[in-house]
Amino acid sequence: MNTLIIISLLIVDAISASLGFMAIYTVPIEADLSRTSLPVTIFWPMLVLTVFWWIVFLIRGMYKTPVALSRFDEMIKVSKTVFWGVLFIFLITFDTEDFIGFTKIKLLIYGIVIYIFGSLSRTLIRTWQRYLRIKGAGLGNALIVGYTDVGKRLFQQLEDFPVWGFKIKGFVDHEFPEHNASIETEEGINPSGIQQTKARKAKSKILGGIDDLSQIIEEQSIEWVFVAPERQSNDAILAVFDRCVKHRVRMMIVANYYQMVIGLVDTVEIHGLPLVEVITQFAPLHVRIVKRISDLITAFFWVIIVGLTLPFMALAIKLSSPGSVFYKQKRVGREGEEFYLYKFRSMVQDAEKKSGAVWAVKNDPRITKFGRFMRNTHIDEIPQFFNVLKGDMSIVGPRPERKKFVEDFKTKIPLYERRLRIRPGITGWAQVRHKYDETFEDVKDKTRYDLFYMNHMSLALDLRIIILTVKKVFLGERA
């Protein structure tokens, strides 16, 4: 059903863009009163601009289905999106008298037509979507964590108002009460027959405890998890959050309990119950696209530098210690996929042959003299730009670790696995804000910095991290 809605939105957006383009040719404007027909040559420009509007609407998140299908909000979003799109066209055509038949007045008319038709047609689609939800079509499977007063109230609201788009498959509760427990009363008053029926229906849907959450999500094809705690600890909420991230499930928490994720949420109210959505997508699509493009351009530049300086680096490394010039080691990257990370060799050959995977320590005797210089200046990291070109890494992101350490940290550090949702980086917020990790506590501290970066990821923050990294390099500090 959601696919059909998206296709419908794409079609009406294409029609809106085409109508706007045709309007500037069929409506007499200024002195050009004679032209009322469409020239054949406008087909390709019209197609290009249609694709442009699809991209603009995609970047603005206009193809996502909001929790609340507000037709007024849809019109506001369309107006803002059209404004930014028209402004972009205006800026790139500012010095031109005419652009694909556009003058400045025609551009204004173009935007108005797109907004009028786009907002009206999208409002009709959202109305149709609301009707389908009321009829029980296109509902997303949902789960409520917490068989509490708040959880039961939420269950009844979502059952009574399917327009929100959720089909509650059941409850998960910390204490997992027995199914045959008596129906609770509120404030000592016996519930009515309807209330008893709803309460029994809610209790019959208790599917298990929090430890069973992952299995329930998979078996019931859960898309949404609502957390309605009353007395559970933050550890329990973190456990739920961790499983939601792992299974790519969207999660909402009752507003009174959102302090632990403040700054990462969008608010929505479901019939008097204020909820906040925990944002699991770390950056908008356009930020991720620009980040990847900038990574490729920068990495290509540094790969050329590696090629030019390789003979001198090879000589210095081999004079310091016999062995290979490059060192490769398996690391865990995005989504837990392992890859080979490349460095200039800064330790003696086969440094871990006897000891196995261990942390480097301060004044590590395995590091060669030239290797220490490379580590202090970060020169040993430069070959990782090959990893950036391959797509294994980004320039900025959490540092990748070996599988042995990752498996250990996942069991000991809350939300550590969340770091694996994005590409690891050559440098990162943790590297510029914390010292080189030598103990488990250092890793825990750095994880907090990594999670902060992921939740506030932006091009501006990346630039700041790169500047701080360059500063560390010149100061000779090891990140």
Taking residues 387-405, what's their average pLDDT? 93
Q: Is the pLDDT assigned to residue 111 strictly greater than 60?
A: yes
- How many domains does one find in the chain? 3
Examine the domain organization and report whether 302 and 261 are in the same domain: no
Taking residues 14-22, what's their average pLDDT? 89
pLDDT of 321 reads: 87
Examine the domain organization and report whether 324 and 443 are in the same domain: yes
pLDDT of 94 reads: 66
- Tell which wins on pLDDT, 380 or 243: 380
pLDDT of 184 reads: 43
Q: Is the pLDDT assigned to residue 254 strictly greater than 60?
A: yes
Q: Is the pLDDT assigned to residue 82 strictly greater than 70?
A: yes
Predicted TM-score (pTM) of the model is 0.62
Q: Is the pLDDT assigned to residue 340 strictly greater than 90?
A: yes
Examine the domain organization and report whether 179 and 327 are in the same domain: no
Of the residues 278, 307, 340, the one at which a domain ends: 278
Range of the structural domain that residue 73 is part of: 2-134
pLDDT of 267 reads: 63
pLDDT band of 83, cuts 50, 70, 90 = very high
Examine the domain organization and report whether 254 and 314 are in the same domain: no
Examine the domain organization and report whether 360 and 471 are in the same domain: yes
pLDDT of 33 reads: 45
pLDDT tens-place string over residues 295-317: 999 999 999 988 888 899 999 99
Q: Is the pLDDT assigned to residue 90 strictly greater than 50?
A: yes
pLDDT band of 37, cuts 50, 70, 90 = low
Nearest CA to 78 among 89, 93, 63?
63
Examine the domain organization and report whether 257 and 289 are in the same domain: no
Taking residues 350-375, what's their average pLDDT? 72
Mean pLDDT, the chain, as a whole number? Answer: 80
Examine the domain organization and report whether 49 and 150 are in the same domain: no
pLDDT of 102 reads: 60
pLDDT of 260 reads: 44
Examine the domain organization and report whether 181 and 268 are in the same domain: yes
| Cβ proximity of 249 and 222 under 8 Å | yes
pLDDT of 100 reads: 52
How many residues does the structure list for the chain?
A: 479
Examine the domain organization and report whether 235 and 375 are in the same domain: no
Of the residues 216, 243, 278, the one at which a domain ends: 278
Examine the domain organization and report whether 362 and 377 are in the same domain: yes
CATH code for position 274: 3.40.50.720
| Cβ proximity of 196 and 159 under 8 Å | no
HEC assignment per residue over the chain: CHHHHHHHHHHHHHHHHHHHHHHHHHCCECCECCCCCCCHHHHHHHHHHHHHHHHHHHHCCCCCCCCCCCHHHHHHHHHHHHHHHHHHHHHHCCCCCCECCECHHHHHHHHHHHHHHHHHHHHHHHHHHHHHHHCCCCCEEEEEECCCHHHHHHHHHHHHCHHHCEEEEEEECCCCCCCCCCCCCECCECCCHHHHHHHHHHHCCEEECHHHHHHHHHHCCCCEEEECCCCCCHHHHHHHHHHHHHCCCEEEEEHHHCHHHCCCEEEEEECCEEEEEECCCCCCHHHHHHHHHHHHHHHHHHHHHHHHHHHHHHHHHHHHCCCCCEEEEEEECHHHCEEEEEEECCECCCCCCCCCCCCCCCCCCCECHHHHHHHHHCHHHCCHHHHHHHCCCEEECCCCCCHHHHHHHHHHCCCHHHHHHCCCEEECHHHHHCCCCCCHHHHHHHHHHHHHHHHCCCHHHHHHHHHHHHHHHHHCCCC
Examine the domain organization and report whether 200 and 323 are in the same domain: no
Q: Is the pLDDT assigned to residue 41 strictly greater than 70?
A: no
Of the residues 278, 299, 321, the one at which a domain ends: 278
Taking residues 404-432, what's their average pLDDT? 88
Examine the domain organization and report whether 438 and 470 are in the same domain: yes
pLDDT of 189 reads: 40
Taking residues 105-133, what's their average pLDDT? 90
Which of 67-81, 345-359, 455-469 shows the lowest mean pLDDT across its residues? 345-359
Taking residues 354-379, what's their average pLDDT? 75
> 132: which residues sit within 8 A by CB, 6+ positions away?
1, 138
